[in-house]
């Protein structure tokens, strides 16, 4: 009996189960969260959460408009890093401020 490596079986199983797109999106969300942690100041990270990838738009919940502005300033860097790590799956960022934090400096 011949054993096949799992890495050879998994892509086909994902296609067969029709969940390859969902798995790929989940991987993008994970990478995006790590890239955000590298790009944003540590005091900005609490409350920052990558929510979804839909039709090339990555939606990110941020705790304030100040953090949203900071992310917009770094958008080019973020998109370049994401493209380098996961390919051209993300074309745009959408920040959704929640207004939960008041302690992040506005300047």
Q: List the chain domain ranges.
A: 7-97
The pLDDT mean for the chain works out to: 86
Query: pLDDT-derived band of residue 4, with 50, 70 and 90 as boundaries?
Result: confident
Task: Quote the CA–CA distance of 45 and 2 in Å, as a whole number.
Answer: 48
pTM, two decimal places: 0.76
What integer pLDDT is reported at residue 107 of this predicted model? 40
For the chain, count helices (H), then strands (E): 4, 3
Residue 62: pLDDT band (50, 70, 90) is very high
The pLDDT confidence band at residue 14, using thresholds 50, 70 and 90, is low
- 26/73 Cα distance (integer angstroms): 25
Token readout for 50 is 């990558």
Burial class (CB in 10 A: 0-12, 13-18, 19+), 97: middle
pLDDT of residue 1: 66
Work out the percent of the chain whose per-residue pLDDT is above 90.
60
- The phi and psi torsions of 99 (rounded to 5 degrees) equal 70, 25
Task: Collapse the DSSP code of 94 into the 3-class scheme (helix H, G, I; strand E, B; otherwise coil) and give the result.
Answer: strand
Question: What homologous superfamily does CATH list for 7-97?
Answer: DnaA, N-terminal domain (3.30.300.180)
Looking at the DSSP bridge assignments, the partners of residue 53 are 58
């Amino acid at each position: 009996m011949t054993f096949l490596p799992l890495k050879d079986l998994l892509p086909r199983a994902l296609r067969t189960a029709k969940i390859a797109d969902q798995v790929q999106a989940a991987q993008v969300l994970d990478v995006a969260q790590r890239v955000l942690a590298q790009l944003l100041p540590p005091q900005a990270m609490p409350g920052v959460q990558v929510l979804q990838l839909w039709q090339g738009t990555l939606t990110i919940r941020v705790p304030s408009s100040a953090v949203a502005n900071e992310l917009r300033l770094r958008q080019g860097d973020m998109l370049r890093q994401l493209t380098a790590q996961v390919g051209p799956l993300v074309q745009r960022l959408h920040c959704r401020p929640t207004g939960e934090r008041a302690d992040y400096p506005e300047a």
